[in-house]
Chain A
Amino acid sequence: MKKISLLILSLVPLMASASNDVTQLEGSFKVGPAIILIFILSLFILVGILFRAKDTTDYYAAGRGISRVGSGMAIASNWMSAASFLGMAALMYGTGYHGLSYVVGWTGGYVLLLILMAGQIRRYGKYTAADFIGDRYYSKTLRTIGAVIAILISIAYAVGQFGGIGLMFKWVMGIEYNLAVIIGGSVVLAYTLISGMLGVTKNMQIQYVIIISSFLIPLFLLTYKFDYFWLLPQIGYGSAVQDIVEGIQISDKSGLMNTLGHHFAIVPSPEYAMPWAPSSGQTFFQWMAIAFSLMIGTAGLPHVIQRFYVVPKARDARWSVVWGLFFICLLYWSAPVYSALGTILSAHPEVGKLSPDAIVVYTAQLGGINPLIVGLLAAGGVSAAFSTTSGLLVAGSSAFAHDLYVKVINPLARPKTQMKVARLGTLLMAVIITVIAMVDLALIAQLVAIAFSMAGCTIFPLFLLGIWWSGSNRAGAKAGLIVGGIVTLISLTYLVGARAGWVLPYSEFITYYLGAWYFAWIGAPLAIAANIIVSKLTPETPLEIRKFLIEKVHS
């Protein structure tokens, strides 16, 4: 500890001298932020090593030694990804109200998750989503498909995270984006392989504190500096929103400027706050579809569901959701502050088009916040991406090793072999994610939203009906998966097609109604309907499964 303190003290002058260099928005190596980033990542790895997984039970479920508040923090940390930390403000940057559909979707889903699933999932007592699907629907094939879906969802979700890590590494190191993705991806891979889930869970509690602190400290400074109610910026920024709507004249806030020398002023911009503004290109339908898809996706994400197995009993699983949601909301109340202040600070056309995904950091930079604190903010963004990515890689590798390898390929595999396969799965996933992240498909939060819609169309119906209706059987589950899968496939084909310049039929209609960020609005209800209809027409669920549901899950 003493050595660490000495190390920090010796770095302070170096960081202070570096602070003057960080005046440009992009392009140069930023020593202070780099040191802060390295320090925080080293801390994570240290904690990961100290609490590393000893066996497969530890690896998958962290020994179930986590308290409700601790588990809530882990849920929040696991959840607060680059999409929350960086992407949320990006979506609201310029057109605030449309972005709120993501805020509502990503928080409202927890209510569904709690009242419909959390306790029951814990009581069912399965390690992974595929485990549940295979067991509940008494099918090895469905278990395999469930595992593959879990891996695909984890990959889709992690692509956005790697994008966020790449953006922050690019900003700190002043290097090219693709190289930044490779470096950042390698670090997160090493960390996950070293620590496993026990390390991850312990780390998540530390990460939560770092993430939320790094996000809030600049907010207090920014609102204080620009003369808004800084004691509670999450409320104080209301005046900033109204200022954007009505416009700020130079004389209103005379003397306040951004770091590029522009006045803290903006022309009247009601499109920022007014619902589905015509100039935003976003509609009422899209707002509703995004919110709905994200909510049901939340209740179907494998790495979120898996967290409920970590707590000792169902009651803890329920209360951990309350705590988790509270910790998550601390960030979600705050993200719109960055977008509002960022909108004003970058309003002058001379600032040019900023990458929305980095607007959190740019806002702090343009606001003239001390570069070391901006560095802390960037490190927080990386931490957010790290905490989620490691959880995703664990969930994905669990599906690979536990659900595919042990349950399907080699049931006699020894724990050591199983562990090796889990790590191989992690490595494979990381490589795939890195490659996809290099293709700039969409904003971080939109990439993550794809994973939510995939989960909403496939896993959510299986869990919902599997828990609450014993009549849902194997044939129904397969039918639901086929329908949900087809909707997913159509939407993603049109997304990739649009980027690749393919000419596809009914392109305008399908990209609007089956948009990649919200296709679950129709995919999930169709999958549920298919499951119910086919279940009704085919032999009922075996007695032992029905008994298990009654005795173990609902009694």
Chain B
Amino acid sequence: METEDHKISFFKPTTQQALKNRNLIIKLFIAWAVAIFGFQVLLKILEKPVPEEALITFSSAWENIESGEAGHSDFRAAARSMIQVMGKLTIQPDHYAALKDGTGWALSKVYPEDELSELQQDVVYLSELREQITSLRDAEYLQTKELIISKAAPALNIGEGTLLAQLLAIGLDENLQVLAEENRAKIPQVMSLYLTHNRSFLTDTIFLGFPFHYFYTAVFLLVFFIGLCWIYCYRTDKLHAKLNFLEQVD
């Protein structure tokens, strides 16, 4: 890399050792960059926004609801879809509140009118209990939840022993018959936000149990980095041995 006037430049090597070292670094650097950034760019190029099944169901049902042509099956489908989104870990509190409002309202449309106030009292009671209890295993709290499930889940065609039923029990608004205008406008956007995902064959292929792109990034790349480091050290040692390059020890 050095010249007679003592100048060093990575891109202008002047000795055999420097030339080989530079070439090795460039090869490893390209492999490194392509493996990391090239793959992510490929992922970006191939991706398509794909809705979850729940969004397709919801959109169709909500369209009918908005046009005033909805039947019971539309309210049930919309409610089930909203409950599913309410079960997502990443949901923001204001989005959760809007869906809670929407779920209660949709339930009220398919629930026997004369029994609605009783269900509403159960929901209010559960909410009050939640403030008082010290353990989520509190017997009365669990009983009240089961009571709500036994009443509301069949109305929405949800099996009582399912996860949706569990989410339903705590996902009902205290004022079942009213849907705030603000929430009515917000719900379709919220549903679309949480139920649309960027997917491609790289995300849908399963490898060792993982979605392939996840395995590649979380597991393989790290192995690859260690491999690159090992190759560099091994090749450098070989090169130094070949050229009788002795390193000083301070």
Contacts and interface: CB of A to CB of B under 8 A. Distances in A.
Contact of B210 (A241, A260, A319): A241
Contacts of A336: 218
A236 B52 CA distance: 26
Interface in B206-233: 206-211, 213-215, 217-219, 221-223, 225-226, 228-230, 232-233
B239 to A, nearest CB: 12
Nearest to B84: A267
Given A100-B218, A325-B229, A348-B166, A550 B8 contact: yes
Interface string A206-250: 000000000000000000000001000011101101100101111
A104 B36 contact: yes
Interface stretch (B25-33, B65-73, B116-124, B147-155): B25-33
B167 interface: yes
A112 B225 CA distance: 10
A53 interface: no
B206 A242 contact: yes
Interface stretch (A143-151, A326-334, A495-503): A326-334
Name the residue in A94, A115, A284, A291 with the highest tally of chain B Cβ atoms < 10 Å from its Cβ. Answer: A115
Contact of B225 (A107, A269, A315): A107
B128 interface: no
A274 B249 contact: no
A95 interface: yes
B185 interface: no
A346 B89 contact: yes
B76 to A, nearest CB: 17
Contacts of B86: 349
A275 B28 contact: no
Given A242-B206, A266-B87, A287-B40, A547 B6 contact: yes
Contact size range, A? 35 or more
A284 B1 CA distance: 38
Contacts of B219: 234-235, 333
A468 interface: yes
B170 interface: yes
Contacts of B18: 554
A76 to B, nearest CB: 12
Interface in B131-169: 136-137, 142, 161-164, 166-167
Interface residues of B, number: 79
Contact of A313 (B7, B166, B248): B248
Nearest to B54: A268
B203 interface: yes
Contacts of B213: 97, 275
B10 A468 contact: yes
Interface in A460-512: 468-471
B236 interface: yes
Nearest to B49: A278
Contacts of B142: 261
Interface stretch (B56-64, B103-111, B175-183, B191-199): B191-199
A495 B6 CA distance: 45
Given A242-B211, A273-B214, A313-B249, A95 B90 contact: yes
B87 A347 contact: yes
B208 A238 contact: yes
A100 B96 CA distance: 27
B44 interface: yes
Interface string A341-362: 0010011111000000000000
A269 B203 contact: no
Contacts of B196: 278
Nearest to A332: B222
Given A238-B215, A268-B52, 20 more contacts: A103-B217, A108-B221, A111-B228, A114-B232, A115-B228, A235-B219, A238-B207, A266-B87, A267-B88, A270-B52, A270-B197, A275-B40, A275-B44, A278-B197, A318-B233, A325-B225, A348-B167, A470-B9, A546-B5, A549-B6
28 contacts: A97-B217, A104-B217, A104-B221, A107-B225, A114-B233, A115-B232, A125-B250, A238-B210, A241-B210, A261-B142, A265-B163, A265-B166, A267-B84, A267-B164, A270-B197, A271-B90, A279-B194, A292-B37, A313-B248, A315-B237, A321-B233, A333-B222, A348-B166, A348-B167, A349-B170, A468-B9, A471-B7, A554-B8
